[in-house]
């Protein structure tokens, strides 16, 4: 068997205490033992980052972002050093690095920096030297020599970017769930774990509200075609491989369903039905950083139409305020909003080539007396807004309709 170069990332719960750090060390060593070269990316232990943020808020409710990065980047430095010590204890060679130290170069946007480049010289040198290389995730050094952090989910991003830069054979993300499921197993108890999923599908699922992996890391994986293997650090179970194309045998049409209750619906009533009006409304909302998801314009009978859209609930007040102003200026009617909505989505790259998925969605929901308020489709997904009280039921109906509960892993 050819020796591999593997990048592994362990999340905060995976290194949450002394025993878990020791278990992670043991797992890493099992790879090193069979001759693989291993680069490990670690998050901060458990709630360390949140605790540091809380401490800073006590001192300054609005801390400067540069200082925030100085502060919170320590969490990963601590877990990296401890993991190196745990590996040493078991008689293997390891060396830890901070992101800045090893040369993870980012832009200058503190607390949400983007990785520009990764220096691999030092890492390669240590790997050649037979060492397991441990790198503090979530952090880097800006082009202005400042410590930066990459935002939430940043350690996943560090791992995938490192795997790409090092031309690793694969990138493994160890977390507290054992893979990616056809639906949230807390809602759909017979949800099945997927063996494979494509980059596009997981990005679509995440965009539709599934709490899977952070999208930035998946986007980098997709861009450079780096397979990402998601699995649990608490078991030896097989996880899910996120890749460009899944093996043929798995080509079921729909690969997963997602539910979100975090959006609200806004309707601008009696909008004059003239070209350019919709553009005016959404340009204005976008310029105020309001993230619009679905947009539906009703077929117009008269000279008037209703335009509905969904926004994250925490932007609702702002969206209503802006919509009211726009309505006045364009001569539209009142603004109606509804927070009691849920959005269900089905996602699958197979939908591209197969017709009838939308129709099956609608009739399955109808058969179960679930009323659809809004519909939106993309190349690989269909989303429906329904009353919040019917959201979970809608998810179950769709999960069953497309045979996800009977899917063989």
**Contacts with a second copy, residue ranges (CB under 8 A):** 18, 21-22, 52, 55-56, 58-60, 63-64, 66-68, 70-71, 73-74, 77-78, 80-82, 84-86, 88-89, 95-96, 98, 100-101, 145, 147
Residue 35 is encoded by which pair of tokens? 């001759």
Q: Taking the C-alpha atoms of 64, 66, 67 and 69 in order, what is their torsion angle to the nearest 10 degrees?
A: 120
Residue 130 Cβ, how far from a second copy at the closest point, in Å? 15
94 CB-near residues (< 8 Å, 6+ apart): 83, 84, 87, 88, 131, 132, 133, 134
What are the DSSP calls for 175-209, one per residue? ESS-S-BSS-TTT-TT--B-SEEEHHHHHHHHHTT
Does residue 150 contact residue 106 with C-beta atoms inside 8 Å?
Answer: yes
For residues 71 and 173, which CB has a smaller minimum distance to a second copy in the complex? 71
Nearer to a second copy, 145 or 289 (CB): 145
Contact 308, 265 (CB under 8 A): yes
* Residue in the structure block whose two tokens are 């939430």: 152
Rounded to a whole number of angstroms, the minimum distance from the CB of residue 97 to a second copy is 8
Minimum distance between the CB of residue 371 and a second copy, rounded to whole angstroms? Answer: 51
E strands along 89-223, which residues? 94-97, 104-106, 115-118, 132-136, 139-142, 147-149, 170-175, 196-198
| 8 A C-beta contact, residue 262 and residue 280 | no
63/185 with CB nearer a second copy? 63
Cα separation of 362 and 367, whole Å? 9
- Taking the least distance from each CB to a second copy, the nearer of 55 and 359 is 55
Q: Of 60 and 211, which has the nearer Cβ to a second copy?
A: 60
- Closest approach, Cβ 60 to a second copy, in A, equals 4
- The closest alpha carbon to 10, from 195, 217, 232, 222, belongs to 232
- Backbone φ/ψ region at 270: left (φ over 0), alpha (ψ -120 to 50), beta: left
Q: Give strand pairing partners of 337.
A: 266
For a second copy, the closer CB: 59 or 249: 59
| Residue 113 beta carbon to a second copy: minimum distance, rounded to whole angstroms | 16
State the pairing for strand pair 240-243/196-198: parallel
Alpha-carbon radius of gyration of the chain: 24
Within the chain, how many helices (H) and strands (E) appear?
13, 20
Q: Give me the least distance between CB of 85 and a second copy, in Å please.
A: 4
For a second copy, which is the closer residue by CB, 66 or 318?
A: 66
* C-alpha–C-alpha distance, residues 40 and 309, integer Å: 43
- CA nearest 153: which of 43, 295, 275, 21? 43
**Do residues 25 and 15 make contact, with C-beta atoms less than 8 angstroms apart?**
no
Q: How far is the CB of 22 from a second copy (least distance, A)?
A: 7
Least distance to a second copy, CB of residue 29, Å: 14
Q: What is the dihedral of CA 328, 331, 334, 335, to 10 degrees?
A: -70
* Closest approach of a second copy to the CB of residue 303, in Å: 55
Nearer to a second copy, 86 or 228 (CB): 86
**Min dist. Cβ of residue 86 to a second copy (A):** 5
CB of 132 to a second copy, least distance (A): 12
Q: Considering the complex, state which of residue 101 and residue 251 has its C-beta at the smaller distance from a second copy.
A: 101
Q: Which are the contacts of 219, defined by CB distance < 8 A and separation ≥ 6?
A: 199, 203
> Smaller CB distance to a second copy: residue 129 or 314?
129
Cβ-based nearer residue to a second copy, 60 or 354: 60
């Amino acid at each position: 068997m050819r020796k591999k170069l593997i990048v592994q990332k362990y999340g905060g719960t995976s290194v949450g205490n002394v025993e878990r750090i020791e278990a992670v060390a043991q797992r890493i060593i099992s790879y090193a033992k069979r001759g693989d070269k291993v680069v490990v990316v670690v998050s901060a232990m458990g709630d360390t980052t949140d605790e540091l943020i809380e401490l800073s808020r006590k001192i300054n409710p609005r801390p400067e972002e540069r200082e925030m990065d100085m502060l919170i980047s320590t969490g990963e430095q601590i877990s990296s050093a401890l993991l190196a010590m745990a590996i040493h204890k078991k008689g293997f060679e390891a060396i830890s690095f901070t992101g800045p130290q090893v040369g993870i170069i980012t832009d200058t946007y503190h607390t949400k920096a983007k990785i520009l480049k990764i220096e691999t010289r030092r890492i390669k040198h240590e790997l050649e030297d037979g060492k397991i290389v441990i790198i503090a995730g979530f952090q880097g050094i800006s082009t202005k020599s400042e410590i930066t952090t990459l935002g939430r989910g940043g350690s996943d991003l560090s791992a995938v970017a490192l795997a790409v830069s090092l031309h690793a054979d694969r990138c493994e993300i160890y977390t507290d769930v054992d893979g990616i499921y056809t639906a949230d197993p807390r809602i759909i108890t017979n949800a099945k774990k997927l063996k494979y999923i494509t980059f596009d599908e997981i990005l679509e699922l995440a965009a539709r509200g599934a709490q899977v992996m952070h999208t930035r890391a998946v986007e980098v994986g997709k861009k450079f075609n780096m397979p990402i293997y998601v699995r649990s650090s608490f078991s030896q179970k097989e996880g899910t491989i996120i890749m460009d194309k899944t093996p043929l045998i798995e080509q079921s049409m729909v690969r997963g369903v997602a539910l979100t209750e975090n959006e609200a619906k806004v309707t601008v009533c009696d909008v004059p039905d003239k070209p350019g009006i919709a553009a005016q409304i959404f340009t204005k909302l976008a310029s105020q950083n309001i993230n619009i998801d679905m947009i539906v314009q009703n077929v117009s009978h008269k000279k008037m139409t209703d335009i509905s859209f969904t926004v994250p609930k925490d932007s609702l007040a702002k969206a209503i305020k802006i919509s009211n102003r726009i309505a006045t200026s364009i001569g539209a009617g009142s603004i109606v909003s509804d927070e009691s909505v849920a959005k269900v989505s089905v996602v699958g790259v197979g939908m591209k080539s197969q017709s009838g998925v939308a129709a099956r969605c609608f009739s399955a929901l109808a058969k179960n007396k679930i009323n659809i308020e809004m519909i939106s489709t993309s190349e690989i997904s269909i989303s429906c807004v329904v009353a919040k009280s019917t959201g979970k039921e809608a998810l179950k109906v769709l999960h069953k309709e497309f045979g996800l509960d009977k899917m063989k892993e």
